[in-house]
Structure 1
Amino acid sequence: MASQGRRPLVAGNWKMNGLRESVGTVEAVRRALSPQLAERIDVLICPPSTLIASCVAAAEGSSIAIGGQNLHAKPSGAFTGSISAEMLADLGARYVIVGHSERRAYHNETDDGVHAKALAARRAGLCGIICVGETREEREEGRTLDIVRAQLAIGVPKGATGADTVIAYEPVWAIGTGLTPTPADVAEVHASLREMLGQLIGAEAQAVRILYGGSVKPGNARELMAVENVDGALVGGASLVADDFLGIAAAYAD
């Protein structure tokens, strides 16, 4: 439940999915997104980097923003295969996902690395979506809050604001599994993250949006989006299908 003047954000992460024909999904979302809903929420789609320019063109003139899924902390250099924040901005991206659990797990990204990338996003004028989340083992050990607060404490740059930073809570065990925490579980984590943000950046913490991600679907979106301190969703697989993505965004339709 977005509050304190925070505008809900519904973001889609396509991950390593999509060919040129997938740009049609952006066009479909654009056609079907009602003006009334577009006035209430921000909509973001993060395709693979190969499609960013095409998706920016497809979204031109609409309220839909396009973002990147990852970046290198340096603005340029001998980093074969990497893409910088400046390159993303040059393509027309406005956001970038930082420290997604899949980057942490499969590419050994650290909290310090996440911090550096969040600073890079700010440097290029992008809004960084900083991801935090616990594994199933960490949850079963009762360490969820300790884990996400520690990730937040290191990852969030000094002076972060609601304009350049979004937080996404993604319980690792819920991503792509069909499992979701209870609304009470989500409320507990988001409240703890909000409190931790207050320690890190003071009153500005009330302006930073905290998204929930992890098997968000049209069928559970309304219940999850109604939770206190949930300011939107970071959607994985469901964002690849325009109707499903719009079905999640419709949680804010009334």
Structure 2
Amino acid sequence: MTRQFFVGGNFKLNPTSREAKRELVNILNKATLNPQTEVVIAPPALYLIPVLELLRKDIKVAAQNSHTKNSGAFTGEISPVQLVDAGIPYVILGHSERRTLFGETSVIVAQKTRAALDAGLRVILCVGETLAEREAGSTQKVVEEQLRAVVTLLSPGDWSRIVIAYEPVWAIGTGKVATAAQAQEVHADTRKYLTSAVSPEVAESTRIIYGGSVTAANSKELATQPDVDGFLVGGASLKPEFVDIINATAV
């Protein structure tokens, strides 16, 4: 099975002006992009609808978070059904910043994933270990524990709407990056886990992408790995080099 290459851009809490947002969108609108790659960008929630309206239609838009509930007294949250109503197809869930800074446990991430899928969203599901966990040799144990909570709440058919993003916490925004071999090892082990925890078919078809200081300079080597199906890009998604990352597999 050939899995479609996937490149996501997570803008996080950037940019800080509508003009800068328009400039980022204009760069993508004018760029020549590999048509074989699925491209998704995740601007701050305030800019979701304006970006959707300005952006070329072959690039999709994602929210950076959504709640477990569709409505109610949850000040400051964003509803999965509201995202669907607004025409937003994707949401990022489980990012390490949500886990570490906002206290989201794997159980909460799993509940959010279930709610997002029920609403009709597709999910970019983030997993990954800290530096201490990697040095302790616990990388795969951590990744599997984070995924297990989700596996418990999903049926095999749900996985067609999930992209797993392996993002080692020690490589996010640090300039450090997992080597191509390190990324491939974790991705292959994760696919092996899906084989036993869900099914061989789901393991083979689910895209597993890498995130963690991805740049134009390292993306081509990472993209050659058989189990690396794309990238979730942070800081570099705010720069013109994002186009080169999108085109990492172009011949």
TM-score normalised per structure 1:
0.93
1:48 paired residue number: 44
Q: How does 1:44-193 map to 2 (within 5 A)?
A: 44-60=40-56, 62-156=57-151, 157-160=153-156, 161-193=158-190
Query: Deviations for 1:38-73, whole angstroms, at most 9, x for unmatched residues?
Result: 2x110000000000001100125x210000000101
Contact 1:26 1:59 in 2 (8 A): yes
CA RMSD of aligned residues (A): 1.2
Aligned length: 246
**Distance (Å, rounded) in 2 between the aligned partners of 1:27 and 1:87:** 26
Q: How does 1:16-35 map to 2 (within 5 A)?
A: 16-18=13-15, 19-21=17-19, 22-34=21-33
**Distance (Å, rounded) in 2 between the aligned partners of 1:80 and 1:227:** 43
Please identify runs of 4+ aligned residues in structure 1 that moved more than 4 A.
Answer: none
Distance change (3 Å), C-alpha of 1:33 and 1:90: farther
Contact 1:26 1:55 in 2 (8 A): yes
1:196 paired residue number: 193
- SS of 1:72's equivalent in the other structure is coil
Contact 1:162 1:209 in 2 (8 A): no
Contact 1:158 1:200 in 2 (8 A): no
**Distance (Å, rounded) in 2 between the aligned partners of 1:77 and 1:195:** 39
* Larger CA deviation: 13-22 vs 75-84: 13-22
Contact 2:114 2:154 in 1 (8 A): no
Letter in 2 for 1:33: T
Letter in 1 for 2:236: A
Query: Deviations for 1:189-246, whole angstroms, at most 9, x for unmatched residues?
Result: 00111111122321222111101000000000000111121110000011012x2110
Q: Which runs of 5+ in 1 are unaligned?
A: none
**Distance (Å, rounded) in 2 between the aligned partners of 1:250 and 1:225:** 10
Q: Percent identity?
A: 44
Q: CA deviation at 1:33?
A: 2.8
Query: Deviations for 1:153-178, whole angstroms, at most 9, x for unmatched residues?
Result: 11244225453111000000000001
TM-score normalised per structure 2:
0.94
Distance change (3 Å), C-alpha of 1:88 and 1:194: same
Contact 1:15 1:236 in 2 (8 A): yes
Contact 1:175 1:214 in 2 (8 A): yes
Contact 1:198 1:205 in 2 (8 A): yes
- SS of 1:163's equivalent in the other structure is helix
